[in-house]
C-alpha cells in the first residue's frame, strides 16, 4: 500500500486533522508578531537634544518653550532640530529669531529628550539609536532575518534526522528563552545577539508546522489546510497592531507577543509525529500507533482490521535509516532541477513581498491603524487564492500571482506621482498579490519535495526567502542613485521568478512524493488516483505525472 491509501483508511481529513491544524495555529500566530515587531519596538519618536543640564546665565528661569528657543535651532517646519544644539545659549533669539541659521551649533552633548506620547519606551529611546546611530534600528531587522536564515538550515537538517515533533518542542522552548532574554537586554549588542537567536528558533515553528500539517492530511484537503494555516499570519499581523497599541513599552511588547508560545508548549503533548516520516525512517510500529489514534479520533473503527503493521514498511521504498543532508538536494538530476527552481521562486516571492511593503505609503492614519489595515488586506487575497489553487492548480497560481505582482510595480513606475490615489490602489493590489504568492509557495513547496527530504527542502527554500528579505532593505538604498531603481529591480525579479515557477511540475490532487526515486521517476510514467476500494486497480484518469505509484 501507498501511505495515502493507508491514511485514507484512518481518515485523511477529519476531527484529528482539524485538531492538529488548530494546535499548530496557536504558535504560528506568534510568527508575524516577531517578524514585523520592529515596526513598533524600533520606532523613533520625535526628539531633540537634552537641555536639562544647562545652567548658564539664568536659563532655568525661562519657560520650556523659551529654553528650547535659545538652546536648539529650529527646523524649516518650526520644530526643534533632532541632532544639534547651539554651542551656547542664544538669548537674543527671544527678541529676534531671523538669524538662526548663521549661529554656531554642535551635536547633542547630554543625550536626547523624547516624545513619549505614543511610546513609553522603544529601542531608540532605550539605547539612543538616533542621529548617527539611527541605522542601528534597521540593522536589528537584518540581524533577525540572518537568524531566520540560519534557523532554516539548522532545523531543516535536524527535522529530517530526528523527527518533526521533537524539534518542534525544541523550537518552542528556545523561542521563549531567547525572546525573553532579548526583552531584558541591557545593551544593544546583547539585544541584537538574542534577536538573532530568536529568529533562528522561530524558523523551526514556521517550517515544521507547515510540513507536519500537510503530511497528516489527504490529497483532497491539502489546499484547505495550507490556506487555513496561512491565515494565522494575517491574524497574528492584525493582533500585533492591537498588542502594540495597548503595550507601548518595547520590553513588555516582546513578552506579550511571545506569550502564545507558553500555551503552544503546554499543548505540544497532543501533537503527533509525522507517520510519513516514521515509516520512511523504519519506525513502522510507532507510525501504526499514531495511525490508530487518528482512526479512533476520526471514528474509523475498522482500521485495525483493514490495515496491519506489516503493510506499513511497503509504503516507502527508500533506504530506511539513511541520514539525508542538504547535499542530497543536488545529487540527482530531477531533484537538483527542483532545488534550483524553488530557490529562485522563494527568493523572488520574499524579496518582492518585503520590497512592496517598504514602498507602500500609509493612508494618513496613525501607525497602529495603518498596520492593521495592511494586515487585513491580506485576508481576502488568501480566500481568493484558496479557490484558485483548487481550480487552476498550484503552478498556474504561483506563476500568475508573481507576474501580476511585477506588472503592478511596473504600472506604478510609469504612473506620474500626482495620481497618488491610483498609485495607492495599485500598490495595495500588488501587496495582495504578493501575499497570495507567499501563501501558494508554502503549500506548493511542501508538495514538491519528498517526505525523506521535505524539511531539508523547506529549510533550503526558507533560507532563500530570508536571504531575499534581508537584502530587500539594501536594495531600497539604490534609490539614492536613481529613484525608480529599486522598483525596477523588484518588478524584474517578480516577473522572472514567476516565469521560473511555470517550469515546476503541477501537484494539484497528486499524492505527496515519499522518496527521491519518486521525484526522479516523476516524468517517466503517469500517476493515477487510487481510491480506498480500488487499491489494486488504477482509475482511468491520470491526475499528475510528478510521482509514481
SS3 state at 86: strand
Instruction: Give pLDDT tens digits for 33-55.
Output: 998 888 888 888 887 787 776 65
Cα(403)–Cα(488) distance, integer angstroms: 14
Summarised one tens digit per residue, pLDDT across range 175-214 is 999 999 999 999 999 999 999 999 999 999 988 888 888 8
Find, among 380, 270, 276, the residue nearest to 16 by Cα.
Answer: 270
Task: Give per-residue burial for 38-55: e unless 16+ CB within 10 Å, then b.
Answer: bbbbbbbbebbbbbeebe
Residue 458 near residue 326, CB atoms below 8 Å: no
Bridge partners of 84? 107
Alpha-carbon gap, residue 155 to 205, rounded angstroms: 9
Q: Distance between CA atoms of 209 and 5, rounded to whole angstroms?
A: 23
Residues 499 and 400: beta-carbon distance below 8 Å:
no
Return d(Cα 485, Cα 478) in angstroms, integer: 6
Confirm if 406 and 494 have CB atoms less than 8 A apart: yes
The pLDDT tens digits for 464-515 are 888 888 887 778 767 767 778 888 999 999 999 999 999 998 888 777 787 7
Rounded distance between C-alpha atoms, residue 307 and residue 240, angstroms: 46
Q: What is the DSSP letter of 90?
A: -
β partners of residue 107: 84
- pLDDT band with cut points at 50, 70 and 90 for residue 331: confident
Strands 84-86 and 112-114: unpaired
Nearest to 349, CA basis, from 422, 426, 444: 444
- Sign of the alpha-carbon dihedral angle for 52, 57, 63, 68: negative
Pairing verdict, β 47-49 and 84-86? unpaired
Q: Is the pTM of this model over 0.85?
A: no
pLDDT score at 119 = 85
pLDDT tens track for 145-173: 889 888 888 887 788 788 889 999 999 99
Q: What percent of the chain has pLDDT over 70?
A: 85
Q: Which residues of 301-327 are buried (b: 16+ CB within 10 A; e: fewer)?
A: eebeeebeeeebeebbebeeeeebebe
Task: Give the largest CA-CA distance in the chain.
Answer: 99
Q: What is the 3-state secondary structure of 265-326? A: HHHHHHCCCCHHHHHHCCCHHHHHHHHHHHHHHCCCCCHHHHCCHHHHHHHCCCCCCCCCCH
- What's the confidence (pLDDT) of residue 530? 39
Q: Three-state SS for 549? A: coil
Give the separation between CA 411 and CA 44, rounded to whole angstroms.
32
CA dist., res. 290 & res. 310, Å (int): 15
Average pLDDT of the chain is: 81
Q: Check: CB of residue 159 under 8 Å from CB of residue 208.
A: yes
Tell me which of 15 and 99 has the higher pLDDT: 15
The predicted pLDDT at position 496 comes to 95
pLDDT surpassing 80 at residue 418? no
Judged on CB neighbours under 10 Å (0-12, 13-18, 19+), 280 is buried
Record the cell numbers describing residue 383, joined without a space.
480566500
Given a contact cutoff of 8 angstroms between Cβ atoms, the answer to whether 148 and 198 are in contact is no
CA atoms within 13 A on the CB side of 191: 23
Q: Residue 540 above 70 pLDDT?
A: no
Of the candidates 326, 352, 350, the residue with the CA atom closest to the CA atom of residue 339: 326
511: closest CA among 303, 298, 215? 215
**Higher pLDDT among residues 491 and 531, named by residue:** 491
477 by DSSP, 3-state: which? helix
Helix (H, G, I), strand (E, B) or coil at 482: coil
What was the pLDDT predicted at 324? 73
The pLDDT assigned to 373 comes to 78
Residue 65 cell numbers, joined: 518653550
| Count of all residues that appear for the chain in the document | 549
Amino acid at each position: 500500500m501507498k501511505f495515502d491509501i493507508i491514511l485514507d483508511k484512518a481518515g485523511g481529513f477529519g476531527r484529528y486533522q482539524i485538531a492538529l491544524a488548530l494546535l499548530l495555529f496557536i504558535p504560528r500566530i506568534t510568527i508575524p508578531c516577531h517578524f514585523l515587531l520592529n515596526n513598533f519596538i524600533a520606532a523613533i519618536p520625535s526628539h531633540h537634544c537634552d537641555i536639562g543640564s544647562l545652567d548658564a546665565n539664568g536659563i532655568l528661569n525661562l519657560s520650556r518653550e523659551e529654553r528650547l528657543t535659545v538652546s536648539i535651532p529650529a527646523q524649516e517646519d518650526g520644530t526643534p532640530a533632532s541632532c544639534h544644539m547651539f554651542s551656547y545659549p542664544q538669548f537674543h533669539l527671544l527678541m529676534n529669531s531671523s538669524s538662526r541659521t548663521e549661529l554656531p551649533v554642535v551635536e547633542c552633548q547630554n543625550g536626547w529628550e523624547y516624545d513619549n506620547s505614543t511610546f513609553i519606551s522603544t529601542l531608540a529611546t532605550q539605547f539612543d539609536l538616533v542621529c548617527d546611530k539611527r541605522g542601528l534600528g534597521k540593522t536589528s531587522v537584518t540581524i533577525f532575518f540572518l537568524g531566520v536564515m540560519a534557523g532554516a538550515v539548522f532545523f531543516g537538517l535536524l527535522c529530517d534526522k530526528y523527527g518533526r515533533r521533537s524539534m518542534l518542542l525544541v523550537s518552542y522552548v528556545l523561542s521563549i528563552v531567547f525572546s525573553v532574554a532579548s526583552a531584558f537586554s541591557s545593551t544593544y549588542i546583547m539585544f541584537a545577539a538574542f534577536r538573532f537567536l530568536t529568529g533562528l528558533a522561530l524558523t523551526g515553528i514556521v517550517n515544521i508546522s507547515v510540513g507536519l500539517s500537510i503530511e497528516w492530511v489527504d490529497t483532497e484537503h491539502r489546499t484547505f489546510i495550507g490556506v487555513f494555516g496561512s491565515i494565522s499570519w494575517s491574524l497574528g499581523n492584525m493582533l500585533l497592531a492591537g498588542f502594540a497599541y495597548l503595550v507601548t513599552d518595547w520590553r513588555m511588547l516582546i513578552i506579550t507577543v511571545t506569550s502564545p508560545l507558553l500555551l503552544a508548549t503546554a499543548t505540544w503533548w497532543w501533537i503527533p509525529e509525522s507517520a510519513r516520516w516514521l515509516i520512511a525512517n523504519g519506525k513502522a510500529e510507532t507510525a501504526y500507533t499514531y495511525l490508530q489514534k487518528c482512526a479512533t479520533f476520526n471514528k474509523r473503527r475498522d482500521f485495525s482490521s483493514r490495515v496491519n503493521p506489516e503493510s506499513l514498511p511497503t509504503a516507502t521504498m527508500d533506504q530506511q535509516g539513511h541520514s539525508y543532508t542538504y547535499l542530497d538536494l543536488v545529487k540527482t538530476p530531477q531533484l537538483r532541477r527542483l532545488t534550483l527552481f524553488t530557490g529562485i521562486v522563494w527568493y523572488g516571492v520574499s524579496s518582492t513581498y518585503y520590497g512592496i511593503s517598504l514602498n507602500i505609503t500609509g493612508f494618513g492614519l496613525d501607525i497602529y491603524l495603518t498596520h492593521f489595515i495592511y494586515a487585513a488586506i491580506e485576508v481576502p487575497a488568501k480566500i481568493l487564492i484558496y479557490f484558485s489553487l483548487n481550480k487552476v492548480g498550484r503552478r498556474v497560481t504561483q506563476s500568475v500571482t508573481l507576474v501580476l505582482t511585477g506588472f503592478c510595480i511596473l504600472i506604478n513606475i510609469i504612473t506620474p506621482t500626482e495620481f497618488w490615489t491610483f498609485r495607492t490602489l495599485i500598490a495595495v493590489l500588488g501587496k495582495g498579490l504578493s501575499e497570495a504568492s507567499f501563501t501558494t509557495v508554502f503549500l506548493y513547496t511542501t508538495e514538491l519535495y519528498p517526505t525523506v527530504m521535505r524539511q531539508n527542502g523547506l529549510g533550503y527554500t526558507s533560507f532563500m526567502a530570508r536571504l531575499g528579505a534581508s537584502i530587500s532593505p539594501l536594495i531600497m538604498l539604490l534609490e539614492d542613485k536613481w529613484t525608480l531603481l529599486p522598483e525596477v529591480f523588484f518588478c524584474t525579479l517578480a516577473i522572472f521568478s514567476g516565469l521560473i515557477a511555470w517550469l515546476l511540475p503541477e501537484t494539484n490532487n497528486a499524492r505527496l512524493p515519499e522518496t527521491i526515486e519518486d521525484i526522479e521517476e516523476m516524468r517517466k510514467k503517469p500517476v493515477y488516483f487510487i481510491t480506498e476500494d480500488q487499491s489494486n486497480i488504477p482509475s482511468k484518469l491520470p491526475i499528475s505525472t510528478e510521482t509514481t505509484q
